[in-house]
């Protein structure tokens, strides 16, 4: 095996094992502490001092050459899930949705009540006994307001004694599954895969002297309100923001008309994202950054996929408006089954994306212009 191939295999192995670890750590929006502590350890080991802001964002800065535009590279640590809203006298828990939870995929899911002090408790989302299900009910999606989580308790007192209260976070039961080839499925691939990639991009970049200043940011509350990263950007005031998250793979029969993103087909950039359901926001990438990623992928002889999607929104949509504007772009890895309890990605895509991002950032030199009127 030649040297670059051996390095790629090594990188793949590190990404895979870190992602498997991160998928198993619960971190509902607003409750990211356990994930943050794990990531802070990783950055520490790279010799990067970290700080945590009042929102809970984890930040590490690797100072680079003056005169190059500064970069904020970010991914979110949090995951979607539920919050207990009521404990019935029977001990069953009613929950509120936190984030874009697909109600269609909830029945009989295993979940975890996240209780401080190492007292997490398992539960299952109830699903009406099939024998008692009427023909009309058979194809009806049960709205979250009607579902309940059964932790096996026989009274509210018993549930409360176990540490479960109104406000207790509930997440999909953490799991990770190794599938054929480099494919894996598990909880919160969105966006623990992005977090793992940033750790590995940081590893590649810390030893490079000729590069811009890079702020590595692991953000909070993306699944809740998409604005956790905004607090970090307002403090850091970067020139460029690179947001790292999923790209919807469209290579399953149900997604075929939605786009051209293939799982295992390599990293992707988003040319258009928009969310109209009340939020009215999206990200149209800065052309200089589109050019940067296209050039870098070409130089690495790496395929670069393109995404344009309605219904997708990331926190770059808010970060781009900080100060006088931040040149922003969403880059990502293909994912299947987004927001369900088992999301799927391909580690080969993660590895290629890590190399792409590290090389693109090094390519941001003093001459790199964010001027809209420069000929490109």
Where does this chain bind Zn ion (CB under 5 A)?
Answer: 190-191, 245
Minimal distance, residue 339 CB to Zn ion, in Å: 9
Which of 259, 340, 260, 274 has the alpha carbon at shortest distance from 303? Answer: 260
The full 3-state SS of 274-295, as one line of letters, equals: EECCCCCEEECCCHHHHHHHHH
Alpha-carbon distances of 30 from 134, 187, 195, 225, 369, rounded to whole Å: 39, 17, 17, 10, 37
Q: Which is nearer to Zn ion, 190 or 330 (CB)?
A: 190
The backbone torsions φ and ψ at residue 153, rounded to the nearest 5 degrees and listed phi first, read -75, 150
- What span, in angstroms and rounded, lies between the C-alpha atoms of 329 and 373? 18
What's the min distance (Å) between Cβ of 222 and Zn ion?
6
CA distance 276 to 334: 23
Shortest separation between residue 227's beta carbon and Zn ion, angstroms: 14
CA distance 73 to 304: 19
Smaller CB distance to Zn ion: residue 245 or 330? 245
Strands 93-98 and 268-275, sheet pairing: unpaired
Of residues 200 and 239, the one with the C-beta less far from Zn ion: 200
Scan for tokens 């697909």, then name that residue: 102
| Closer residue to Zn ion, CB minimum distance, 23 or 93 | 23
C-alpha 294/C-alpha 312 separation (Å) is: 22
For Zn ion, give the closer residue by CB, 11 or 313: 313
Task: Kindly state the smallest distance separating residue 342's Cβ from Zn ion, in Å.
Answer: 15
3-state helix, strand, coil in the chain (%, to 5): 30, 25, 45
Q: Whose Cβ is closer to Zn ion: residue 205's or residue 226's?
A: 226
Kindly state the helix (H) or strand (E) to which residue 62 belongs, with its residue range.
Answer: strand 58-62
Q: How far apart are CA 163 and CA 209, in angstroms?
A: 50
Shortest gap between Cβ of 245 and Zn ion (angstroms)? 4
* Distance in Å, CB of 76 to Zn ion, minimum: 6
331/364 with CB nearer Zn ion: 331
Catalytic residue among 32, 200, 222, 351: 222
d(C-alpha 352, C-alpha 345), whole Å: 13
Query: Shortest distance, CB of residue 277 to Zn ion, whole angstroms?
Result: 17
Rounded Cα distance between 127 and 105, Å, is 11
Residue 208: both structure tokens together = 């490079």
Q: Tell me whether residue 222 is one of the annotated catalytic residues.
A: yes
Q: Choose between 184 and 288: whose C-beta lies nearer to Zn ion.
A: 184
Relative to beta strand 121-125, strand 149-150 is antiparallel
Q: Report in angstroms how near the CB of residue 80 gets to Zn ion at its nearest.
A: 9
Q: CA-CA distance, 60 to 58, in Å (whole number)?
A: 7
Contact between residue 187 and residue 23 where contact means Cβ atoms under 8 Å apart: yes
For 256, the token pair is 């075929």
For the record, the structure tokens of 19 come out as 């992602």
Residues acting as catalytic residues:
222
């Amino acid at each position: 095996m030649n040297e670059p191939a051996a390095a790629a295999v090594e990188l793949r192995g590190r990404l895979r094992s870190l992602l498997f670890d991160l998928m198993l750590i619960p971190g509902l929006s607003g409750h990211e502490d356990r994930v943050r502590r794990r990531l802070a350890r990783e950055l520490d080991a790279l010799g990067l001092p970290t700080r945590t802001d009042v929102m809970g964002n984890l930040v590490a800065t690797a100072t680079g050459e003056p005169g190059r535009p500064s970069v904020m590279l970010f991914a979110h640590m949090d995951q979607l899930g539920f919050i207990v809203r009521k404990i019935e006298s029977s001990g069953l828990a009613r929950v509120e949705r936190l984030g874009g939870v697909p109600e269609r995929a909830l029945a009989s899911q295993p979940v975890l009540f996240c209780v401080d002090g190492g007292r997490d408790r398992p539960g299952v989302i109830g699903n009406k006994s099939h024998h008692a299900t009427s023909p009309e009910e058979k194809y009806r999606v049960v709205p979250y307001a009607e579902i309940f989580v059964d932790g096996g308790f026989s009274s509210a007192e018993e549930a409360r004694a176990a540490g479960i209260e109104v406000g207790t976070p509930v997440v999909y039961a953490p799991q990770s599954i190794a599938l054929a080839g480099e494919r894996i499925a598990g909880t919160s691939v969105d966006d623990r895969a992005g977090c793992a990639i940033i750790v590995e991009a940081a590893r590649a970049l810390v030893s490079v002297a000729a590069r811009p200043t890079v702020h590595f940011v692991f953000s909070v509350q993306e699944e809740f309100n998409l604005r956790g990263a905004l607090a970090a950007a307002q403090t850091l005031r970067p020139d460029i923001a690179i947001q790292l998250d999923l790209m919807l793979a469209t290579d399953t029969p149900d997604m075929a008309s939605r786009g051209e993103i293939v799982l295992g087909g390599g990293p992707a950039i988003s040319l258009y994202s928009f969310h109209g359901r009340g939020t009215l926001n999206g990200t149209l990438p800065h052309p200089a950054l589109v050019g940067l990623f296209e050039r870098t992928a070409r130089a690495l002889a790496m395929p670069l996929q393109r995404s344009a999607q309605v219904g997708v929104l990331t926190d770059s949509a808010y970060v781009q408006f900080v100060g006088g504007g931040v040149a922003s772009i969403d880059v990502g890895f293909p994912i299947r089954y987004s927001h369900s309890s088992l999301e799927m990605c391909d580690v080969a895509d993660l590895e290629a994306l890590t190399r792409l991002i590290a090389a693109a950032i090094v390519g941001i030199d003093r001459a790199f212009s964010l001027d809209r009127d420069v000929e490109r």
